[in-house]
Structure formats: C-alpha cells, structure tokens
Structure 1
Amino acid sequence: MHTVEIVLLLLTLGAVSGLAARYVPAVPLPLLQIALGAALSWPEAGLHVRFDPELFLLLFIPPLLFADGWRIPKRELFTLRRPILTLALGLVLFTVLGLGYFAHWMIPELPLTAAFALAAVLSPTDAVAVSAITRRLGMPEKTRHILEGESLLNDASGLVALKFAVAATLTGAFSWAEAGRSFILIALGGLAVGAAAGWAYARARATITRRVGDVAATQTVLLMMLLPFAAYIVAERLGVSGILAAVAAGITTNFADLERSEAIAERMQAQITWTMVESSFNGAIFLLLGLQLPAIIGEGLTHGPHAWWLLLGYVLAISAALIVLRAIWLALAVRRSLLAARRSGQMPEQPSLRLMGATALAGIRGAITLAGALSIPLLLPDGSPFPGRELLVFLATGVILVTLVAGSIGLPLLLAGIQQPAEPPHAREERLARIAACEAAITSLKKAGDADTTPPDAEWQARRDEAVGLVARDYRRRIDTLDDTDEGTEARAKEHVARRRAHVMELELRLTGLRAERAELYRLRRAHRINDDSLRALVQEVDLAEISLRRRLGVARKR
C-alpha cells in the first residue's frame, strides 16, 4: 500500500476509534487503538505496514511535541525545572546503567552493549502516551506538570544514550567524555534551532499582522502547522536533536503569542486546528503501534531461541525493573528535596505513598521507544547480524504494552485514593482572574464616560447611562457569582447561592435564545431569504456568543 494511502487510512481509523471509545469509556483510547491496529494486521490477508522509523519520527512526532510545548504551562515548566531535569537527565542515566546490567545478567547471551541499547530505548517516557493516559485521571497539578516536562525533555537523553550504545556495539569502543560532549551539543543545539525557528516565525507573523491585520489568520495558522516539521528537519540536518527542536519551537511560539491579544481569529483557528491534529495524530501513532504487534511478536516467537513463556517472563521482569528503578530514583530525589527544604527553614509536606506509586507507574513507554528499537541497525560492520536485535525489538514492544496496560489500570486505582483540594490552584487562579477582568471592564466603562467629548444632550445621556448600567450590572452579577468572600454568615451564604442559581438560570435562557437564533437563521437560508455568505457571517456571531456563554455557564455551575 502506498505511504499516502496508509497515512490517510491511519487518520481515518484514528477518528473512528475515537468515536468508538465514547461507547466503551472503561477502556482507555490508546489501548483500544492498539487492539484495533493489531486486529487489522493479524490475519494473513490483513493490513501489513512497513514501519520506517525515520519517516514515522518526521511525520507524527514533531507536531505532537510542538503542540505539547505550545500548550504546557511555561510558569510551571520553569518553576519545576529542577525536578524535571532530575528525571529527564539523571533518571535516564540511572535507568540505562541499572537496566542494562540487569538485562545482561538476566539474558547472558545478550552482550552488555546491546543490553545498554535496550535500556536506552526504554529509558525515555513517551510524551504522547503519558498525556493520553494521565490527562483526565485527576493527577495532582504539580506532579502532572513534572511528568509532562520530563516526557518532553528525556527523549534527547535517551536517544543519545542509544546512539552511543549502538556505536559501542558496532565498534567495541566507548568514551564517557565523548558521550557527554555529544549529548550537550545535540541537546543544546536542538533547543537553539527550535528557539530560532520559533522566533523567526513569530517575527514574520508579527510583520504580516501589522501590515494586513487579522485577515491572514488562516495563512499564519498554516505556517504554524508547518513550523514543527521545519524545526525538526533543520535540526536533524545539522546533527542535533530534532525532537527538542520541535519542543523548543512550540515553547517559543507560545511566548510570542502573549503579545498577540488582539489576534482573535488566529487564536480560535489555532486552537481548533491543534486540537484536531493532536486527536488524529495520537490515534494514528497507537494504531501504527498495533499494526506492528503481530509481526514483531511472530518474529520473536518463531525465530528466537527462547520459548514464549521465557520471553513473557523477560518482558514482565524488565517492566518491573523499570518501575522499581523509577521508584528508587523518585524516593531519593524526594528525600534530597525534603532535606534541602528543611535546611532552608521550610516544612514541606512529604508526598503520600499513593502519589509516589502513581508517579512511578506513570513512566509509560510508547511510540518513541518502538521507533528507537526499530532504528537499531540490522548488521555489524563485518556483515554479521546485530546481536539480539530481534529480541531487543520484541522486548521493547512488550514493555510498551505492559506499561500502557499497567498505567491504564493502576493509575486510576492509585489516584482515586488521593485527596484532591476543594478548589484546585488553577481553578482558583481562573476565578480570581475572571473577577479582576470584570472589575477592569467596569472601570473602563467609567473612564469611557469621563473621557466622552460628545456635546451634552439629555436624551442621549440618559440612554448612554442606561446602557452603561446594563453592561455594568452584568459584570457585577458575574463578580457576585465568582466571588466567595461574602459567605460570612448563613444568611449571606444562602443569598449568595440564590444569586448564583439565578445567574445560571439567566445564562441557560440566553443559551436557549442563541440556539433559537441559529435555528431561525438556517430556516431563513432554507427558505432562500438569505444566502450562504450571510448565513456564515451571522452564524459565526451566534457561535462565538454561545462559546462564551457555555464557558461562563460551566464556571457558574461548578461554583
């Protein structure tokens, strides 16, 4: 099957599986997609797709990592940089060494350098898999941000470790000094290329917007979609990390977006576009992983020297070793952090065992691991087969499945017992920001009245005061709904609840009215009273108003 047809089929199946997952919410979507891919390829007449690691990394990974870098909260990323780097760098090295020696001890016929290659392949967590599994499980915000940052940055360290493990297997030589220099060059070079690409795009976009306004929103969003591919390709051509380049481009673009508060059309199109890209590409990745399973399992069972039960034991043992190594590193890191905090006079709260277990179990492996395993060369320089390559690919694939299943089953169980705050920090920040925005709007109404230079006219002034009062009253009602500082007595609390319920009722009525407006507009179009252009323009206004109302209604109902 042609590559373009395969990509289109994967995207279609990703959308279909996403719809199917609505009917089986108990099964995580990634596992459902892997099972669907395996079912499609298992029969002899099934869909057989040749997995090209380089093409896969270029086509699917850059936009997803760019989107993660674009969306991840930058404040938390820099605030938590120490634990993130501890996991992204220190844990990767700890895993490579610990798991490498363990795998060589467990499978003596596997050379130590090849065992290190396996450990390097398995050392990075997968940003796509971690995000897909933990997004809606109620993971505490600080822990979730650390996991997201770790999975974005540890790909480079894992792939660099793989590069040197493979080189040591091919040549029989290894240098720690050379490995360290290469890692610094590859990582910093990738970050620099991505930041430069994001900065150049931001400058070009600002120039275009300054000259033509927001009418070029569609074109600028299209260029943003192409930006991660450009950053990845340039970085790879320069011999640095294309993965980190895509992440850095997303982070840089997000910083540039802070100066574009007036670009409404571009912002809405970008949000919708990236939501669609993430959904479809995530599905394609897990489907592609499922399509590879039968072939990899078949080769491992039929061509390898080990019995199936022994291979299964290896997979389970390596998966358990990964979790144990991760738990040990986390325990040491937490202990060090607590000691440092106490020395500085702070009394931090120690994480619960449930949270520590959930963090250890959240080290999910995914498509990056499979791509790295399949990128291991087939032959040594002398023409002999790479030692244990088929076994490495089989073990890596098995560990991916085990960590996905363990995370999908174990994380909900562990997180269900963790006490969540009555109001999460981000929810409180949002509520206070809404109050501040409403107060700023009321202040602006007063300033607008004071700055008005229109000649005095009694009737005009009365109408203007009435309009200002209506708008200000709406903002004050929103403040009353959001503010919880007036709940000092039982009577005030009841009054506060009553106001909120009335506000919810008002918003629901407004929403009903908007839907009636939209239905009438479509009736007018069907009756040929308006044309398609008028319909699109009018419906867009109603849609924007409904989006705002639904957002406000959701916040009001939660309160």
Structure 2
Amino acid sequence: MHTVETVLLVLLLGAITGIAARYLRAIPLPLIQIMLGAALSWPQQGLHIAFDPDLFLLLFIPPLLFADGWRIPKREFFSLHRPILRLALGLVLFTVLGLGYLIHWMIPTMPLTVAFALAAVVSPTDAVAVAAITRNLGMPAKTMHVLQGESLLNDASGLVALKFAVAATVTGAFSWADAGQEFLWVALGGLAVGAALGWAFAVGRESVTRRVGDVAATQMVLLLVLLPFAAYLVGERVGVSGILAAVAAGVATNFADLRRGEFLAERMQTEGIWNMVEAAFNGAIFLLLGLQLPSIVGDTLAAAGDDWWRPAGHAVLITLALLGLRWIWLTLGVRGSLWRAHERGAMAEKPSALLDLATTLAGIRGAVTLAGALSVPLVLQGGTPFPARDQLVFLATATILLTLVIGSVGLPLVLRLLPPAGEPVALKEERWARVAACNAAISHMASQLSTTKDPVRQAQVQEAVGRLTQDYRKRIDMLEYPAAPTPEAQAEWPQAVRQRRERYLLEMELRLSALHVERSALYVERQHNRINDESLRALVAELDLSEISLRKRLVVARRAVGDMEDGQGPLQE
C-alpha cells in the first residue's frame, strides 16, 4: 500500500476507534486500537507497514510530549518533583540493574549487556494509556500528576540507558563515570535546548502579536505546532535528548502563555489544534503498535515450535518482575517523599498499600518501548548479528501487551477499593477563583458609577451596573457557601439556599435553550438567502462562545444543587 494511503487509513481508523470507545466503555481505547491493528495485519495478505523507529520517534513522540509538558499543572509538577524524579530517574536505574541481572539469570544465552538493553527498553511508562484506562474511574488527581511527570522524564532516561547498553554490546566496553557524565550532558542539555527554544518562540510571538493582535493567530498556532519538532531536531543535532527538549519547550511555552490572557482567538485555536493532534497521533501510535504485534509475536512463537511456552513464559515472568520491582521501589524509595508531600499539603491523598498497588499497575509500557526495541542495531561492528535481538524485540513487545492488559483489568478493580476522596482540591480552588473573579467584576462596575457627571449618563450607568451586579451576585450565591444562619433560621436555611440555586439553574437552562433557538433562526435566515455565509459564520461564532461559557456555568450550577441534595452543602461543611 502506498505510504500516503497508509497514513490516511491509520488516521481514519484512529478516528473510528475513538468513536467506538464511547460505546465500548469497558475496554480502554488503546487496547481497542491495538487489537484492531493486530487484526488488520494478522492475515498473510493483511496490512503490513515497515516500522522505522527513528522516523517514528521524530513524527509522533515530540508533539505528544510537548503537549503533555504544556498541559501538565506546573504547580503540582514542581511541588511533587521529589517523587517524580525518584520514579523517572531512580526507578529506571533500579529497573535496568535489577531486571537486567534477572533476565540474564533466566535466559543465560542472552548476554548481560543485551539483558540490560531489554531492561532499559521496558523501563519507560506510557501516561497516555494510563489516562485512557483510568478515565472516569477515580484515579487520585495528584497521583495522576506524579504518573504524568514520571512519563515525561523517564522516556529520556530509559533511552539513554538503552544507548549505553547497546554501545557496551557493540564495543564490549563500559564506564560508569563516562555514563554518568553523558547522562548529565544529555539530560541537562536537552532541558536547556528546549527551554531556550520555547523562550525564543515566546519572545518572537510576543513581539508580533503585540503589534498586530489576534490577526496572526492562525500563523502563530502553526508555528507552535512546529515547535516540538524543531526542539527535538535541534536537541538530537546538538547531541542531547530531543525528547527532553520537546518537554522543556512545552513547559516554557506554557509559562509564557500565562501573560497572554487577552489573545482569545489564538488560545481557542491552540486548544482545538492540540486536541486534534493528540487524538490523531495517539490513535496512530497504538494502531501502529498493533500492526507490528502479529509479525513479532507470531514469528517468535512459530520459530520456537513445540517450545512456544518458553518465550511466552519468559515474557510473563519479565512483566511480573517489572511490576514487582516497581512496587518495591514505590514502597521503599518513594513512599517517604509522598508522605512528606502529603504533610505539607502538596498531595491530598495519603500514601497507602492500595495506592501503591494502583500506581504499580499504572506502570504500563507503550510506544517508546516498541520504538526503542526496534532501534537496536541488526549487526555489530564486525558485521555479526546483534546477539538475541529478535528475542529482545519479542519480549519488549509482549511486555507492552501484558502490562496493558494487566492495567486494564487490575486498575479499575483497585481504584474501586480506594476510599472516596470527597471534593477534589482543584474543584474547590476553581470555585474560589470564580468567586474572586465575580467580586473583582462587581468592584470594577462599582467604580464606574463615578466616571461621569452627566445625570442622564449617570442614571444609565446605574441601571446597567445594577443589572450586571445582580447577575454576578446570583453566580456567587451558586458558588460560595454563605455564613451559618442564626439558630432560629437554621431549619429553613438549607431549603432557602436550595431554592435560590434551583432558580439560577432554571435560568441557565432557559438561556441555553434560547441560544439554540437563536442559532436555528440564523440558519433559517441563511437558508432563505436573507444573510450570506460570512455573516452566518460570524453570528454563529458569537453564539458558540456564549454557549461554551454558559455550558460551563451550567455544569457548576448542577454540581452545586447536587451537593445540596447529597448532603454536602453548607451545613455539613
């Protein structure tokens, strides 16, 4: 099949499986995509795609890691840096050494350096698969932030460890001092390159958009999409980690975005573009992974003949050992830092055996593992085949599949056993921020009353300010819990609060239905040729923005009314 046709087919299947996952909620989306890819390539005449690991790392990994670095909450990322670094760096080293020696003991025909290479390949985790599996299952928010931070950084540490293991296999020489120096150069250099490029882009964007405003929004978004590729390529050309460069560029760009509150068009286009890129690339990654499975797994098991159980058993044992080492490291090496984070308020959930188990099962392997395994060279310097390469690729691929299946089955079961966390801290902070914004708006409108001395103008301003202030106070009533009433009014107070909130909820629902009627009327006007397409798009865009805001306020209103009905209202607090 032609390359262009293949790319279009993969994107099409990614979109279709994303829709199918909405109906098959019991099966995580990555598992659906892997199974579909395997089904397409299983027959002899099925879809077969040559997998170029270098091209794969360039096209798919940088934008996804850039988006993760751009989206991850920076406050939580830096406040939880100790457990994140211990997982992203310490756990990788612990896995490479512990699992490497175990693999060499279990498979004596595999040289120790190759065993270390396999352990390095399977050390990075895949937060995309974890997020897909734990969606709507109640994974504690701060634990998810730790997992996201781990996956952002351990890709680079795992690939660096793989590089040294392969070099030791090819050359027969290894130096811990050289490895340590090289790792510091690769890691710190990658972060510096990415941060510098992100900062340079931010400065250039600021210079342009301060002059022309949102007119250049589309061009700026296009440059932003190209930024992770530039960071990766520059990092690799300099000799540092292109993966960490893409992550650092995303983090730096997000910090610059904090000063760009007025650029509405650019912000909305950026959000929409990244949502599409993430959905398309994530789907393509897991479909490509599924397309490789039958040939890798089938060929290895077929070559083993009647002893097919031996490589299959090795894969199961390596997967269990990988999860076991992760649990040991979490229990002995990370729980202390998690406790300290909990005590200082950086982490709401208390460390526990169940939370350790959930975090262990969340150690799912994915695309970077497959790309790393396939990047192992075919031959050594003398032209002899790389020892046990096919075995390494099979075991890495099987580990991806097994961790995904174990996580898909085990994580939902464990998460259901975790105690309810109550209202997430992020929702409380969001509510407080909304109240602060409303109060700031009310104060601003009050200051407008003294801006004119014209009596007519003054009356108009007072009337407008009164209407708007009333609307803001209704929103505040929905968001904040008022002070406790007197004992005499204690019995009637909850009912009065509920009625006030229900009236506001009804008003929001009526406004939303009115917006739908407005939009339908605009389309009728266009169908009768009373307005043109340009006018239709402009008017509908205004209504769409209003509906987005109104829908969000409606969600908050429904949540507030639901809290009262569930007994979590003001009296209980």
Instruction: Give the counterpart letter for 1:505 in structure 2.
Output: L
1:14–1:33 Cα contact (<8 Å) kept: yes
TM-score, normalised on structure 1? 0.96
Question: Which sits farther off after the overlay, 150-159 or 132-141?
Answer: 132-141
Does the aligned pair in 2 maintain the 1:66–1:228 contact within 8 Å?
yes
1:185-211 per-position Cα deviation (integer Å, ceiling 9, x unaligned): 001111111111111111111011111
Cα distance 1:356–1:36, how it changes in 2: closer, same or farther (>3 A)? same
CA RMSD in angstroms comes to 1.9
**1:33 is aligned to 2:33:** yes
Q: Is the 8 A contact 1:361 1:410 kept in 2?
A: yes
- Counterpart-to-counterpart distance in 1, 2:132 and 2:232: 23
Q: For residues 166 and 149 of structure 2, what CA distance do their matches in structure 1 show? A: 27
1:207-226 alignment runs, 5 A limit: 207-226=207-226
Indicate the percent of aligned positions where both proteins have the same amino acid. 65
Q: Is the 8 A contact 2:505 2:557 kept in 1?
A: yes
For 2:78, the equivalent position in structure 1 comes to: 78
Deviation at 1:258, TM superposition (A): 0.4
Q: Superposed, which structure 2 residues align to 1:80-159 within 5 Å?
A: 80-159=80-159
Deviations 1:325-363 (A, max 9, x none): 00000111245437878999x999852221110011111
CA distance in 2, matches of 1:143, 1:127: 12
- What's the secondary structure of 2:354's corresponding residue? helix
Counterpart residue identity of residue 541, structure 2 = Q
Q: Which residue of the partner structure matches residue 472 of structure 1? A: 469
Alignment of 1:365-380 (within 5 A): 365-380=365-380
- 1:317-396 alignment to 2 at 5 Å? 317-337=317-337, 351-396=351-396
The match for 1:527 is 528
Q: CA contact under 8 A between 2:82 and 2:337: conserved in structure 1?
A: no
- More deviation, 203-212/510-519: 203-212
- Looking at structure 2, the residues matched to 89 and 23 of structure 1 have their Cα atoms a distance apart, in angstroms, of 38
Unaligned runs of 5+ in 2: 561-573
For structure 1, which runs of at least 5 residues remain unmatched after alignment? none
Verify: 1:294 aligned to 2:294, yes or no: yes
Tell me the TM-score normalized by structure 2. 0.94
- Cα distance in 2 for partners of 1:430, 1:437 equals 10
Do structure 1's residue 456 and structure 2's residue 454 form an aligned pair?
A: yes
Aligned to 2:565: none
Closer/same/farther in 2, CA of residues 221 and 484 from structure 1, 3 Å limit: same
Structure 1's 175 and 306: CA in aligned 2 closer, same or farther, altered over 3 A? farther
Q: Which residue of 1 aligns with 2:414?
A: 414
- Aligned mates of 2:341, 2:287 — CA distance in 1: 45
Q: How does 1:489-508 map to 2 (within 5 A)?
A: 489-508=490-509
- Equivalent residue for 2:482, pick from 455, 478, 485: 485
1:161 matches 2:158: no
Whole-Å separation in 2 of the counterparts to 1:505 and 1:13: 41
1:465 positional shift? 1.4
CA distance in structure 2 between the partners assigned to 1:339 and 1:223 by the alignment: 42
Quote how far apart the aligned CAs of 1:142 are.
Answer: 1.5
The residue identity in structure 1 corresponding to 2:399 is: V
CA distance in 2, matches of 1:372, 1:10: 21
Q: Say if 1:379 and 1:385, in contact at 8 Å, map to a contact too.
A: yes
The 1:424–1:341 alpha-carbon spacing in structure 2 relative to 1, beyond 3 Å, is: closer
Q: Is the 8 A contact 1:299 1:390 kept in 2?
A: no
One-letter amino acid matched to 2:170: L
Residues 285, 338 of structure 1: alpha-carbon distance in 2 compared, 3 angstrom cutoff: closer
How far apart in 1 are the matches of 2:342 and 2:247? 35
CA distance in 1, matches of 2:70, 2:475: 30
TM-aligned CA deviation for residue 492 of structure 1? 1.7
Q: Does residue 549 in structure 1 map to residue 550 in structure 2?
A: yes
Counterpart Cα distance in 2 of 1:446 and 1:349 = 42
In 1, Cα distance between the equivalents of 2:460 and 2:129? 57
Which residues of 2 match residues 226-265 of structure 1 at below 5 A? Answer: 226-265=226-265
Query: What is the distance in 2 between the residues matched to 1:342 and 1:8?
Result: 47
